[in-house]
């Protein structure tokens, strides 16, 4: 409020599960939503299983594989290479690895 945010624009939701649900429902395509949770496993399941109202079932919205072009005898994948340096993959998904001091 000291920086000019209206009191009506601020919501305090003490229950973590309810706060995450509210934030997920408020989000729109293209938004970046940061969630800092205490109950990580439960919160992660809540996030990954969230479906906006009217959204198709996950199996119905699986993206098609990217097209592959043939140039001469070589196959060319149009998907640009992406560096995975600094990322970890585990049962919670993919996340940024903490930096280790030299």
- Is a pLDDT exceeding 80 seen at residue 5? yes
Position 101 in a domain: no
Mean pLDDT score across all residues of the chain = 78
Per the structure, the complete domain to which residue 12 belongs is given by 7-96
Q: CA quadruple 74, 77, 81, 82: dihedral positive or negative?
A: negative
Position 42 in a domain: yes
Position 91 in a domain: yes
- Confirm if 28 and 52 have CB atoms less than 8 A apart: no
Over its C-alpha atoms, the chain yields an Rg (Å, rounded) of 20
Position 1 in a domain: no
Of the candidates 40, 42, 39, the one whose C-alpha atom is nearest the C-alpha of residue 50 is 42
Position 72 in a domain: yes
pLDDT of amino acid 25: 92
- Which tens digits make up the pLDDT trace of 58-77? 665 566 666 655 555 555 55
Position 75 in a domain: yes
Position 49 in a domain: yes
- Residue 50, classified by CB atoms within 10 Å of its CB into exposed (0-12), middle (13-18) or buried (19+), is middle
The region of weakest confidence among 37-41, 69-73, 86-90 is 69-73
Position 15 in a domain: yes
Count structural domains, the chain: 1
pTM, entire model:
0.52
């Amino acid at each position: 409020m000291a920086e000019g945010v209206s009191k009506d624009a601020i919501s305090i939701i003490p229950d973590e599960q309810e706060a995450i649900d509210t934030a997920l429902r408020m989000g729109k395509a293209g938004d970046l939503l940061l969630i800092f949770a205490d109950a990580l496993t439960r919160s992660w399941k809540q996030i990954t299983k969230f479906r906006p109202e009217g959204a198709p079932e996950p199996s119905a919205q699986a993206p098609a594989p990217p097209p592959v072009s043939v140039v001469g005898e070589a196959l060319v994948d149009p998907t640009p290479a992406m560096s995975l340096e600094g990322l970890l993959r585990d049962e919670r998904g993919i996340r940024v690895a903490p930096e280790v001091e030299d």
